[in-house]
Chains A and B, each alone.
Chain A
Amino acid sequence: MPTGAELSPLLEVRGLSTHFPAGRGTVRAVEHVSFRIQPGEAVGLVGESGSGKSTVLRSLLGLIRPPGRVVAGEVIFRGRDLRGLGQDELRHVRGGQISLILQDPVNAFNPSLTIGDQLRRILRLHRRQPPAGGYDAEITRMLARVGVDATGKLHQYAFNFSQGQLQRIMIAAACLGGEPALLLADEPTTSLDVTIEAQVLQLLRDLRRELGLALILVTHNLALVAELCDRVLVMYAGRLIEDADVHALFETPKHPYTRQLLRALPRFPASGGRLEAIPGSVPDLSRLSAGCAFAPRCEQYLGAICDTRVPEFLPTGTPDQRAACHLYR
């Protein structure tokens, strides 16, 4: 297995910051986030609600709605900074090479247009000429690939399909652009029931193997990450705090937040004791302190330094594992 340094990464994010103006202050939803994704790699992006996971995904594709704004950083995809691209070039990357899959497939389809109509539009946006056999043949083929029998169903609306089917169709749509390389999945199975979830996960696994897709999976379900991902990025209060190989993360979590988070998972067989919780609550993103955002809740609080300096990403002694914590200075 070649190490990251030898391969040129598929995606390299450097110092990404996204802010939303709010009332008097600014919500720093994403602050100085940097990471790399290798071709074909599956990376889990985990954190609590409001930690900035989804905002990272949307920032990558320039989908932040004003007045929110990506204020700094580079998003280098295949050697090009997506933030510097014109609208037309960016449009071809969206849906062509990088696709976003949303949490709730029911709302992700236009209620007034048929499924076939919506898929044809995506195809037309990304293919200069109709594919051999026509648009519908290509769509039906792709839908069959994700396990949806589309015969006679292309003229139906989203409400005619089940949630599981719609999420499969969404995944098919993500691959219709022609040369998909990276899938951004924003809690793709949260709205599905357990059996359907398992099927959709299997589908994602199969597609990754066949098409060599890289994946960024946003979730707060750590079990999902353990099952599907090679590497994990942990976010807290808009910043990345740990970047680790998936096995290392579960066996030897390095950041105090990650440790406390893993301890808070329910275990089976149940110990019978109370479930552990992290004391305190997530800080207000518009009023962050000068230091580490986790300091007030941290059980390994070191004193003044934690309150005055934002910790940098530091090696932790374990290969493939870095944490943003003053413990590792």
Chain B
Amino acid sequence: MRQVRAELAGNRLSLLGVAGVALLLLVALLGPGLAPYDPAALSPARLQPPSLQHLMGTENFGRDVLSRFLYGTRVSMFVGLGAVALGLSVGTLLGMLAGLRAGSPWDTLIMRGMDVVIAFPLLVLVPVLAGILQTRPLQLGPIGLTSITVVGLAIGLVSTPVFARVARASVLAEVREDYILAARSFGARTRDLLFGNLLPNIQAPLIVQAAFSLAIAVAAESAVSFLGLGVQPPDASWGNMLADARRFIISGAWWLVVFPAAGIALTVLSFNLLGDALRDALDPRADRR
């Protein structure tokens, strides 16, 4: 862990990634507290360029863009983190099971199922899923699903196969090791092998993949919301802010486009930098200069 920290601190780009991610998380956490206005409050001051009262200007209903941007950060982070958490846990579990039972019908069933999911491009499958799930209000027992949750679930499902593949490949390499044989010879159960013995040894590639998947998830959420199939108004998301802005670009309201787009770009960049840095830091074969 100390080595990882030293590695991250030793490289400027890595540091940038870490700082960017930290800033995003902070904003997502504090967003509503930082917002100067209610993000849904209408006002007569429509389409104002950035000023001291409205640092990012106002949009066509007079809502404050900065406040909406801050709320949008929270939505993007929530969807991204939730989706990756879902994909990571389900994918890792399935992949580990497949790896442990490599060659068995279970392995075939799980991995071919993952192939089916992976066969569809992310930006096709997520809108389709979100569209299907949102044709009527969803009610699962006591839990009602908001559009934000639905998008998170859809992206989570789509990001599962990558984790399953990484986990399976890592388990295949580890399971031949003597320590697994030794653990079994001392009476370890399957769940002991999976969570006690294998998981600690395959976590590095999974963590790295999680960082990259987060970047993809944030971009996917924006894309889907831009198409109008994701986060629904009045909830703000970078994607639907961009969609709303389309009609006013020609009239010169640049601030409606630039800020949400910069948010998306910086988020994707930060998580990619973090992923690269973690890969260098966690891979024992990587050159340590």
Contacts and interface: CB of A to CB of B under 8 A. Distances in A.
Contacts of B200: 110, 112-113
A108 B197 CA distance: 12
Nearest to A158: B179
A137 B284 CA distance: 35
Given A110-B200, A113-B200, A94 B184 contact: yes
Contacts of B197: 110, 113
Interface in B206-243: none
Contacts of A48: none
B103 A104 contact: no
A112 B192 CA distance: 14
B12 interface: no
A109 B187 contact: no
A188 interface: no
What class of interface size applies to chain B in its complex with A? 20 to 34
A50 to B, nearest CB: 18
Interface string A64-88: 0111000000000000000000010
B190 to A, nearest CB: 8
A94 B103 contact: no
Given A66-B103, A66-B104, A110 B186 contact: no
Contacts of A96: 187
Which of B181, B185, B189, B196 has the most CB atoms of chain A within a 10 A radius of its CB? Answer: B185
B249 to A, nearest CB: 53
B273 to A, nearest CB: 27
Interface in A78-131: 87, 91-96, 99-100, 102, 104, 107-113, 121-122, 125-126
Nearest to B202: A112
A110 B179 contact: yes
A238 interface: no
A91 B189 contact: yes
A173 B186 contact: yes
B35 interface: no
Contacts of B117: none
Contacts of A121: 188, 192, 196
Interface string B140-183: 00000000000000000000000000000000000101110111
B98 to A, nearest CB: 13
Contact of B201 (A58, A91, A108, A112): A112
Interface string A254-298: 000000000000000000000000000000000000000000000
B185 A95 contact: yes
A82 B189 CA distance: 17
Contact of B192 (A58, A125, A170): A125
Nearest to A173: B186
B185 A63 contact: yes
A110 B178 CA distance: 9
Given A66-B103, A67-B103, A94-B184, A107 B178 contact: yes
Which of B178, B179, B186, B192 has the most CB atoms of chain A within a 10 A radius of its CB? Answer: B186
A224 B104 CA distance: 41
A142 to B, nearest CB: 14
Contact of A102 (B104, B178, B189): B178
Interface of B: 103-104, 175, 177-179, 181-189, 192, 196-197, 200-201
Interface of A: 58, 61, 63, 65-67, 87, 91-96, 99-100, 102, 104, 107-113, 121-122, 125-126, 170, 173, 177
26 contacts: A58-B181, A61-B185, A63-B184, A67-B103, A91-B188, A94-B185, A95-B187, A99-B185, A100-B182, A102-B181, A107-B178, A107-B179, A108-B178, A108-B179, A109-B179, A110-B183, A110-B197, A110-B200, A112-B201, A113-B196, A113-B200, A122-B186, A122-B187, A125-B188, A126-B187, A173-B186
